[in-house]
Chain A
Amino acid sequence: DTEVTQTPKHLVMGMTNKKSLKCEQHMGHRAMYWYKQKAKKPPELMFVYSYEKLSINESVPSRFSPECPNSSLLNLHLHALQPEDSALYLCASSQIAGQVYEQYFGPGTRLTVT
């Protein structure tokens, strides 16, 4: 089973709202990722968690706050977003080993900021 689940599927929020995106995997993967994808573009890496610790932050604005409560869960907390933050937010996971490892993506959360 290579399934990554994300909730909600769609989210509409105002610029003053606080909301959270959730991601879950049960493949025993120890690396989890957040990506942002704009229409007709490839995914852009935002954050990487390795063994529940933040290992990569691609200079993402502080209005995006990631959290990894345990090895199966990944959250992205959103606060004071801008309309240009509207996008598809993708979660992915992979094993950690000495070799390169496949990344499996979830279906994404379609976020609209009004």
Chain B
Amino acid sequence: GENVEQHPSTLSVQEGDSAVIKCTYSDSASNYFPWYKQELGKGPQLIIDIRSNVGEKKDQRIAVTLNKTAKHFSLHITETQPEDSAVYFCAASIQGNNRLAFGKGNQVVVIP
């Protein structure tokens, strides 16, 4: 099955700086890549996703890039704010398949 690896496991950034989280996947058939943000005591929140027919997608301060050849995708958060502090999970899925293969998660800490 699909295997998703996520790096780094913990990331600390100064408020206002950028944060980048990288994920790699193993199954070249994967074609959907969502990112979830999970704050303490809450459920995962879908913040952005990308499909394999595009290379980049942006939504205000967050963006996701996809490199199908290298089988990796990244989340970029610009102008980080304290409320960006959370655990971020990447995931991968194949069209028609209900399963999401999650990465292990990345703790992002934004230092005021």
Contacts and interface: CB of A to CB of B under 8 A. Distances in A.
**A associates with B:** yes
B32 A104 contact: no
Given A33-B98, A42-B105, A56-B99, A107 B46 contact: no
A33 B87 CA distance: 21
A43 interface: yes
Contacts, number: 56
B96 interface: yes
A3 to B, nearest CB: 11
A50 B97 CA distance: 11
B89 A42 contact: yes
Contact of A100 (B93, B103, B105): B93
Interface residues of B, number: 25
Contact of A98 (B87, B94, B96, B98): B96
A41 B9 CA distance: 11
B28 interface: no
Interface of B: 31-32, 34, 36, 42-46, 49, 51, 87, 89, 93-100, 102-105
Given A50-B98, A100-B96, A108-B42, 17 more contacts: A2-B46, A42-B105, A43-B44, A43-B89, A45-B99, A45-B100, A48-B98, A48-B99, A94-B98, A100-B31, A100-B32, A100-B51, A100-B93, A103-B34, A104-B46, A105-B45, A108-B43
